[in-house]
Amino acid sequence: MSDKVIPILDQRSGQALPKLPAQMLPPTGLLADALGRPLRDLRISVTDRCNFRCSYCMPKQVFDKHYEFLPHSDLLSFEEITRLARVFVAHGVQKLRLTGGEPLLRRHIEALIEMLSEIRTPEGLPLDLTLTTNGSLLARKAASLKAAGLQRVTVSLDGLDDAVFQRMNDVGFPVAEVLAGIEAAQAAGLGPIKVNMVVKCGVNDQEILPMARHFRGSGVTLRFIEYMDVGATNGWRMDEVLPSSEVLARLREEFDLLPLSASVAGETAERWSYDSENAGGQGEIGLISSVTQAFCGDCNRARLSTEGKLYTCLFAHRGHDLRALLRSGASEAELSGAIGLLWGARADRYSQLRASGVSSLGDGERRVEMHYIGG
C-alpha cells in the first residue's frame, strides 16, 4: 500500500443527535425495524486501540504513531455502557458481544463484565455474554474473565504458520501465544470457543486446510470470514476476496462435510459438520460470506461505538450520538424512546445493495472504521 495519509477523524465525528418520540412508550422487547427485523444482538466496542495492526483492519500506514486515538474521557464509562445495555435488553437484545479494537486492552474489563452479567431479559433470563479478542492477552486473562461472568470467547487467528500470521498482524505476534490463549480459555470454561480466520487471497489462503486439520475434533469451531470492504483505509480489492464457495471446495477435497441448519435466527455463519459419517463428532466449521452472499435479510445486530454512537449497520457512515443523550441527563424513558425510534427507522442492507451493484453511500460519505465500532 502507498504511504497515503487518510484523515478518518471526519467520519468518526459524522453523527446525528437522536430524536425523542412525541409520546414515550415503555419498551416491549418486540421492536422491529423498517424491514421487519428485530433487535437481538448488541456489539459494544470498549476501546478503539489495539496491539495488532492487521492489514485488513488497522493498516500500519494509517494507524501509526501520529494517529489520534480517542482520549479516555470520550469513551463510555462502564456505568454508561451498562445503562444503555439495559435499555437495549428491554427492547429485545439477548446477546452482548464486547469487542473493539482489542477489548482486553480496556483496563478493568472484568468489572464491566460483572456489571453486564447481572442484566436479565424481560423474561428473567441471563444474556448471552461474549467477547471477541485477538487472543494476545487471553492466556493471562481467561480465568478472571470467566470469574467475572463472561460465558464465551471468539478468538481471531488468521493462520498457523508464523510467517503468514505475523504478516497479517504486522506486529510480529507469534501463533503459539494465541494458541495458548485458546487453550487457557477452554480450560477456564469459556466455550464453546469460536476461532475467526479472515481469508485474504494470496496472503493466507494456504492456511485454510492446516487450520481445519488443527481444529477438527478440538471442540473449537473454526469460521472462515470473507475479507470485507469495511472502513476506508484497508485498500480493499475484490480480487483479494476468496469466496466462501472456494473455501468450501478446498475443504471438501479433504473432508466429507455435511451441511447443518442454522442454530439461531440471524446467524451469520453457514455451518458444516466435519464428517457426514459421524455428524457432530469432530465438531463443525462455519463460513461467513459477507461479500458473496449478503445476509442483511435477517440482520438483527446493532453496534455501539467506543464513544457511544449507535450504528445500525457495519458499513454505516454515520452514528447516532447516544452519549450526548446520556450526558445531557436523559431519563430511562427518553433513552428507550430514542433507541426505539432509531431502530424503527432502520432500513440498512449495505451488503445486499453491494451485491446488486448499488452503493448506499452518498458523495463524500465514508464508511466507519471496524476497530472503532467493533466487528
**Binding residues vs ligand SAM (CB under 6 A):** 50, 56-57, 99-100, 102, 132-134, 156, 196, 198, 225, 227-228, 230, 234, 370-371, 374-375
- DSSP states of 106-139 as a string? STTHHHHHHHHHT-B-TTSPBPEEEEEE-STTHH
Q: Using the rule CB under 6 A, which residue among 50, 76, 175, 330 binds ligand SF4?
A: 50
Q: Beta partners for 142?
A: none
Q: Does 94 bind ligand SF4 (CB under 6 A)?
A: no
- The DSSP symbol for 77 reads P
Assigned C-alpha cell, 137: 492477552
- DSSP states of 155-184 as a string? EE---SSHHHHHHHHSS---HHHHHHHHHH
Q: Does 62 bind ligand SF4 (CB under 6 A)?
A: no
Assigned C-alpha cell, 210: 492446516
230 binds, among ligand SF4, ligand SAM, none (CB under 5 to 8 A by kind): ligand SAM
- Give me the least distance between CB of 149 and ligand SF4, in Å please: 23
Q: Which is nearer to ligand SF4, 184 or 368 (CB)?
A: 368
C-alpha to C-alpha distance for 148 and 115, rounded to whole angstroms: 9
Q: Which is nearer to ligand SAM, 232 or 310 (CB)?
A: 232
295 binds, among ligand SAM, ligand SF4, none (CB under 5 to 8 A by kind): ligand SF4
Q: Does 178 bind ligand SF4 (CB under 6 A)?
A: no
Assigned C-alpha cell, 355: 451485491
Residues 241, 250 contacting (CB under 8 angstroms): no
Q: Which is nearer to ligand SF4, 229 or 334 (CB)?
A: 229
- Give me the least distance between CB of 120 and ligand SAM, in Å please: 26
- Give me the least distance between CB of 356 and ligand SF4, in Å please: 13
Residues from 144 through 173 that contact ligand SF4 (CB under 6 A) = 156
Q: Which is nearer to ligand SF4, 115 or 342 (CB)?
A: 342
Residue 350 contacts by C-beta under 8 Å, 6 or more apart in sequence?
A: 296, 313, 314, 315, 316, 360
- Give me the least distance between CB of 332 and ligand SF4, in Å please: 27
Q: Does 58 bind ligand SF4 (CB under 6 A)?
A: yes
Q: Report the candidate in 251, 258, 247 with the shortest Cα–Cα distance to residue 225.
A: 247
- DSSP states of 244-279 as a string? HHHHHHHHHTT---EEE--SSTT--SEEEES-STTT
Scanning 107-115, 270-278, 281-289, 311-319 for contacts with ligand SF4 by CB under 6 A, the matching segment is 311-319
343 binds, among ligand SF4, ligand SAM, none (CB under 5 to 8 A by kind): none
- DSSP states of 9-67 as a string? HHHHH-EEPPP--SS-----S--B-TTS-B--EEEEE--S--S---TTTS-TTTSSTT-
- Give me the least distance between CB of 292 and ligand SAM, in Å please: 13
Residue 277 contacts by C-beta under 8 Å, 6 or more apart in sequence?
A: 256
Q: Using the rule CB under 6 A, which residue among 57, 127, 195, 338 binds ligand SF4?
A: 57
Which residues are at the interface with ligand SF4 (CB under 6 A)? 50, 52-54, 57-58, 100-102, 134, 156, 295-296, 299, 301, 313-315, 348-351, 371
